[in-house]
């Protein structure tokens, strides 16, 4: 079975790869797409959200094609966790230091939601290890709903606030990611 993949690029343009199953090569190509340099904090983090969205689409495609599922799941979970760590270890502490919002405010809620998402991913990984593709996808749908709501809050509230509060530190922060 062949599938058509559309990859959204940072600048909003799309490129299509046709007549490829979700092989390791295609997944590696997408997984290596880091947000471009030259973006501000908000643009970079939104692009990283889209990157994770694309990787989840690769998991779904791999399950549909019954090809490359293990690689797709591994790349998705690793890159998703890397995104959460970028926020928790770099963005959130810098924002909290700049605003004085330690233990309160939007970063506290985002950390709580990150833990919820990690719990769903743990169930997804159990389903994958058990070979239960339907449970993997079902939990993925749950994660997708959580992530969409979470991303909306970050993109509409937290990232603009962070860009304003710590945007001047962005080059140094980006280096730490």
More confident residue, 120 or 38: 120
Quote the CA–CA distance of 137 and 6 in Å, as a whole number: 20
Work out the average pLDDT over 139-168. 96
Give the pLDDT band (50/70/90) at residue 34.
low
Number of structural domains (the chain) is: 1
Lowest mean pLDDT among 18-27, 109-118, 150-159: 18-27
Quote the CA–CA distance of 24 and 71 in Å, as a whole number: 6
pLDDT tens per residue across span 51-75: 999 999 999 999 999 999 999 999 9
Report the CATH number that the domain containing residue 84 is assigned in CATH. 1.20.120
Quote the CA–CA distance of 85 and 166 in Å, as a whole number: 18
CB 69 within 8 A of CB 62: yes
The whole-model pTM stands at 0.81
Helix ranges, the chain (H) = 24-31, 41-65, 69-86, 92-99, 106-129, 133-153, 159-166, 170-176
Give the pLDDT band (50/70/90) at residue 38.
confident
Would you state the pLDDT for residue 89?
Answer: 97
Structural domain for 141, as ranges: 3-176
Quote the CA–CA distance of 42 and 170 in Å, as a whole number: 10
Would you state the pLDDT for residue 95?
Answer: 97
């Amino acid at each position: 079975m062949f599938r058509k993949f559309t990859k959204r690029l940072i600048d909003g343009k799309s490129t299509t790869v046709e007549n490829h199953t979700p092989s390791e090569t295609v997944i590696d190509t997408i997984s290596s797409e880091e947000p471009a340099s030259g973006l501000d904090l908000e643009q970079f983090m939104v692009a990283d959200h889209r990157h994770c969205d694309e990787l989840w689409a690769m998991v779904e495609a791999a399950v549909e094609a019954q090809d490359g599922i293990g690689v797709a799941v591994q790349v998705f979970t690793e890159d998703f966790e890397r995104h959460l760590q970028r926020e928790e270890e770099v963005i959130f502490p810098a924002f909290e230091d700049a605003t004085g919002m330690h233990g309160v405010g939007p970063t506290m809620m985002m950390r709580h939601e990150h833990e919820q998402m990690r719990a769903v991913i743990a169930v997804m990984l159990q389903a994958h290890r058990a070979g239960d593709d339907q449970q993997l996808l079902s939990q993925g749908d749950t994660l997708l709903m959580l992530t969409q709501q979470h991303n909306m809050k970050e993109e509409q509230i937290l990232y603009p606030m962070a860009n304003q509060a710590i945007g001047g530190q962005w080059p140094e922060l980006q280096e730490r990611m």
